[in-house]
Amino acid sequence: MIIPKKLNYGDTIGVVAPSNPIIGDNIEEVNNSKLIVEKSGFKVKFSKNLFFNTNGYSSTPQEKAQDINDMFADKEIKMIWCAKGGNNSNTVFEYLDYECIKQNPKIICGYSDITSITNIITAKTGLVTFSGTNFKTISTDETDYSYNQAIKRFVEGSLEIGEENEKYETIKSGQAEGELIGGNLTLLHNLVSGKYKVDFNKKILFLEELGFETDPAMASSRIAYMKQNGIFDQINGLWIGNYEHESNIKLEKIVLDIIGNNVNFPIIKSNNFGHIETKTVIPIGTKAKIDSNKRQKIELIEQCVK
């Protein structure tokens, strides 16, 4: 495991767009986020291809990967923040310079489609990466909850998850320890098999999904695919985050519909990560502990920045 260095005020943050293009209103939103972050005391550097839309639906995989590789290689950059999510960040996998990343470890953060990249980087290099707010969302969220969570994690080195008194539910009781792996269900289910599969063995898996794009039947298909490939025979625990669909069907119900109640690991639920205002920062690749008897049912038990 490689632990990245903390972020300090005055440091330079690099912004990349490895998923959907930054076009239209997104340009103003990213620039507004830059103003907020600079006002907080940081410098911001945009990647060379940040505003490219070469293919008409995004920049090319090579352009995206070049930006990520350049940001890791750039000694001035102390953190890489992904601008927004989308649908095709996995196109960069074969173009990333994993050796360069390994030799220049630093914080990289994003959520939604970005969890493809963060999980792959952790799997390929051992670098702890982070599921947290995207850069654009700093200015588009209605509150500063998610940005403050990033500051607490990256600058202060806090191991707290979310804020005090947030609600946790027990779906299946128990205790478990393991390295965290996870993010968006759609993206994680794509990492179950094939050349770029990741190791789920003895991990605590955290999952969220965007109900606007993924209805309950589609979510159940993805959970079933994970079950059919043995994922729920391997993990030590499951942490379910936000999922909102007009049917009001919950992700925890969908999960239990597929895997049943007789699994040998605890399952908990909270609303502090996912496509929601309250996005805490979850490290990928460090250890956590689930204890369903506690009020806050999951805690980080290992340093994730140094």
Rg (CA), the chain: 18
**pLDDT for position 104:** 98
H or E stretch at 185: helix 185-189
What's the confidence (pLDDT) of residue 261?
87
Question: Which residues of 241-297 form beta strands (DSSP E)?
Answer: 267-270, 282-284, 287-291
pTM: 0.97
* Cα 63 from chain centroid (whole Å): 22
Instruction: Give the pLDDT of residue 146.
Output: 97
The pLDDT tens digits of the residues spanning 93-126 come to: 999 999 999 999 999 999 999 999 999 999 999 9
Q: Which residues contact 228 (CB under 8 A, 6 or more apart)?
A: none
Q: What are the pLDDT digits (tens) for 43-54?
A: 999 999 999 999
Domains with residue ranges and CATH for the chain: 12-154 (3.40.50.10740), 168-300 (3.50.30.60)
CA angle at 114 for the pair 275 and 164, rounded to the nearest 5°: 45
CB–CB of 191/198 below 8 Å?
A: yes
Structure tokens at 258: 């597929």
Q: What is the pLDDT of residue 14?
A: 98
pLDDT at 264: 94
**Residue spans of the chain under pLDDT 50:** none
At residue 215, the pLDDT reads 98
Amino acid 165: pLDDT: 87
